[in-house]
Structures are given as C-alpha cells and as structure tokens.
Amino acid sequence: MKSLLAAATLIAFPLAVQAADVPIPVVAAANFYGEVAVAIGGDRVSVESVVVSAEADPHDFEPPASVARAVADARIVIMNGAEYDHWMERLVDASDPADRVVIDVAGLVGAVEGDNPHLWYDPRAMPALAAALAEELTSMDPEGAAEYRSRSNAFVASLQELNQTIETIRERHSGAPVTATEPVFGLMAEALGLDMRNEDFQRAIHNESEPSARQIAGLEADIRDGEVKVLFYNSQVVDPLTERLLAVAQESGLPVVGITETMPEGGSYVGWMLDQLDATEKALSAPSS
C-alpha cells in the first residue's frame, strides 16, 4: 500500500488546508479508532467510523458502497493493519488521492504481519494514534495546531484510569496462568503480566485452520486439571468447539470471561476496556475450584 504510515516514518504532505477546508474528512476502520479522531480533531474534523455489529465476526465484514465512497473522499484514513482489515486495504488501494494520509496503527506500534493484530488491546496503541493524528492534522491545518496538541494531551490523560487498572491487576496477578479460545485478548493479557497458555491452539483458530487433536486435548487438560485460572473466549464467534470448551470449563468450575473484537455501539473505548478488565479481575480473584 502506497500511503501507509509507519511508527518512525510519518508521511507529511506539503499541502496545508486553509480554514475553509475544515472540517477535515476522516474515515476510521473501527469505531474505537474513530473515537480517537473525534477526541483529537474536535469540530475541525468530520469522522465516519465503520461500525461492525457486536453480533458479527469482523473477519467476515464486507463494507457497503457508502464506505468505499467515504474512503475515496477522506483526507485521513485510519486502519488497523497487520493483515487484520483487508477490506480497508482494498478500499484504500482502489483510490489514491495525492493529499490523503493513511494511518496504519500496526506501524505505529511496530506490529507486522503474523503478529497478534488485535492492537486495540495493546495499551500503547491509542496514545500512539493520538500523537500521529495530532501531527497529521497540524500539517493539514496549521491554524488548529494548538487545539490538536491540547486535545491530544487531554485524550492521553483520559486513559489514566485504564492504565492504573492494568497496573493494579498486574501487581496482583502477574504470572497467573490463563488460556483462551482465540488470541483476541492476548496483548492485554501480556500487559497484565498473565501467563497465556495454548497459544498454538489460538493461532490455529485465528488463522481459520483446524487445531490438531493434540492442541485441543492440551487445552482441555489445562481446564480440567486446574492448570489455568481463567478461560477467555471471543463471545462474537461461538462455534461448536468453543461451546465444547465452555462446557468443560463449566463442569470444572473454571471462570470464563467473554471478550469482543468490536466496541459496543454507544459505548466508549475506556468504558469497554474497563468492563472487560473488571470481569478479568473478578475471574482471577475467584477461589480455585
């Protein structure tokens, strides 16, 4: 893709918009990334977020024609990258205006193809996106520079409760063994200092391949034998194998925590993360079965 931004190489175009060109059109591949754009840009941007229903599997998402038109008209496009949102890559490649910037969140945190692509669970991602947006918006709209800088600082400050919660759980439960049916929560589990087991099983599910009998047996044994304290599962994708593992967890008295890939409509990023962290803390604190 021609216009991807990497963490260390932010593409800056010499064309600066005048006040008459505000608001700057922005399209975000997910509503939680769009939330950051609104927080940084305020009324100097118009943001369209592609909202994938919490009832749907984001991997199967097919954008409507209206999204293609919005991407073609956008001055800034925010995508996840790391091979997660292929559909956005296709839309970006289909139109290539000279003055458009594409912010690739994967590039901002150094993630590449093959890494865990669920980057919104990495505590580094949102501050990095806020900084990149403030820089690019300032380049396009120098008159708004002070506002973008102030809003970026305020957004980073708004993450304080989330960061403190992560640190508290890490202090209490670092090293606790856990497992999951998919790697959705993996980056947050890493930030919490948890010992994530059965990652080969999770990678197979993520890559839409069949886990081996040995991988399935290993995960089931961890659940039945009390080798893990929590089972995380993607509540948006519950197939027969997931149902089987949830049943084994219930029989074994193992706490389970449902995780989602998409932010509930009408919610906020911090609220969404805190709700899942609260459930994680309760599960980790539950007495062993």
177 and 212, same structural domain? yes
Instruction: Specify the pLDDT at position 73.
Output: 95
Number of helices and strands (H, E) in the chain? 12, 8
Question: How many folded domains does the chain comprise?
Answer: 2
Alpha helices in the chain (DSSP H): 31-41, 65-73, 86-94, 105-109, 125-140, 145-158, 160-173, 186-191, 199-206, 213-224, 240-252, 269-285
pLDDT above 70: residue 177: yes
Residue position matching structure tokens 């690739």: 104
Mean pLDDT lowest among 18-32, 59-73, 126-140, 156-170: 18-32
Query: Would the pLDDT of 9 be above 50?
Result: no
Lowest mean pLDDT among 47-51, 221-225, 257-261, 269-273: 47-51
Over residues 18-74, the pLDDT tens digits come to 443 779 999 999 999 999 999 999 999 999 998 766 666 676 788 899 999 999 999
**34 & 126 share domain:** yes
Kindly state the tokens that stand for 123.
Answer: 């505590």
Domain-ending residue, one of 103, 127, 158: 158
Supply the pLDDT for residue 178: 98
Percent share of the chain, pLDDT over 90? 80
CA 193, CA 208: separation in Å to the nearest integer? 27
Contact indicator for 236, 56 with CB cutoff of 8 Å = yes
Task: Please determine, for residue 17, whether its predicted confidence score (pLDDT) is greater than 70.
Answer: no
Judge whether 172 lies within some domain.
yes
141 and 169 part of one domain? no
**Residues 39 and 118 placed together within one structural domain of the fold:** yes
Q: Does some domain include residue 16? A: no
pLDDT band at 289 (very low <50, low <70, confident <90, very high): low
pLDDT mean across residues, the chain? 91
Q: How confident is the model at residue 7 (pLDDT cuts 50, 70, 90)?
A: very low
Average pLDDT, integer, range 222-237 = 95
Q: What is the pTM of this model?
A: 0.90
Q: Where residue 88 sits, what CATH number does that domain have?
A: 3.40.50.1980
Has residue 154 been placed in a domain?
yes
Which pLDDT score, from 0 to 100, does residue 21 have?
Answer: 73
Q: What is the pLDDT of residue 163?
A: 98
Contact 117, 111 (CB under 8 A): yes
| pLDDT of the residue at 57 | 66
My answer on whether 104 and 73 are in the same domain is: yes
Averaged pLDDT for residues 87-93: 93
Q: At residue 97, does pLDDT exceed 60?
A: yes
Give the tens place of pLDDT for each residue, 108-123: 999 999 999 999 999 9
Please identify, among 128, 158, 188, the residue that sits at the C-terminal boundary of a domain: 158
The whole-number average pLDDT for the span 236-260 is 95
Domain of 116 in residue numbering reads as 21-158
- Is residue 2 scored above 70 in pLDDT? no
